[in-house]
Amino acid sequence: MRCDAVRQIVEEGMDRPPAVAAHLESCSGCKEYLREWETVRAALISLRAEDPPEPSIGFTTRVMRRLENAPAELSQQFIDQIGRRVVYATLMMALMVLLVLLLPSSGPYRSSGISESVLVQPQVATLSNEQILGVDGMDNGDLTDSSPSPGVSDSSGGPSQ
């Protein structure tokens, strides 16, 4: 038999079949469990045989008074605990906000004002008119004589006008 089946039969106090008795003889763990269980059962039986003690004078009055005051005390204690937790949570949040504001954002020291990493704007490469046309604002082709000779064609390949 398996140990768990034997222990269940021992706990229920049923008659022990020969297979259970054989298992108890061969298994030291179950034999120890049976001995402990019989000790607990004997102690419980002896407690049942004793008469309960008589309550002291005024016991009933004290118990009733405490039961009447118990709900008010418990609810007040519960509200106090919840209030303390709310105060602690609020203080922790305020401390976290303060730390976020005071601790440097990067590096050993915090730069004055807002961090430069926040203010970095993407730079777009643009060419100004001076760069396209030249320093004086004129096209490089205009530096030569503005009136081309009658037989010379312009850069487009056609006759000039």
Residue 31 lies in a domain: yes
Tell me if the pTM is above 0.85. Answer: no
Residue 23 lies in a domain: yes
Residue 27 lies in a domain: yes
Average pLDDT over residues 54-76: 80
Structurally, the chain folds into a number of domains equal to 1
**Tens-place pLDDT, residues 15-27:** 788 888 888 889 8
Residue 67 lies in a domain: no
Least confident of 32-41, 61-70, 135-144: 135-144
Residue 127 lies in a domain: no
Rounded percentage of the chain residues whose pLDDT exceeds 90:
11
Residue 157 lies in a domain: no
Give the Cβ contact number of residue 37 at 10 Å. 14
Higher pLDDT, 69 or 159: 69
Q: Which domain holds residue 20?
A: 3-49
Gap between the Cα atoms of 37 and 26, Å rounded = 18
With bands split at pLDDT 50, 70 and 90, how would you rate the model's confidence at 91?
Answer: very high
Q: CA angle, corner 32, sides to 28 and 33, nearest 5?
A: 115
Gap between the Cα atoms of 128 and 95, Å rounded = 52
| DSSP type of residue 51 | P
Contact 56, 63 (CB under 8 A): no
Gap between the Cα atoms of 160 and 145, Å rounded = 13
With bands split at pLDDT 50, 70 and 90, how would you rate the model's confidence at 88?
Answer: very high
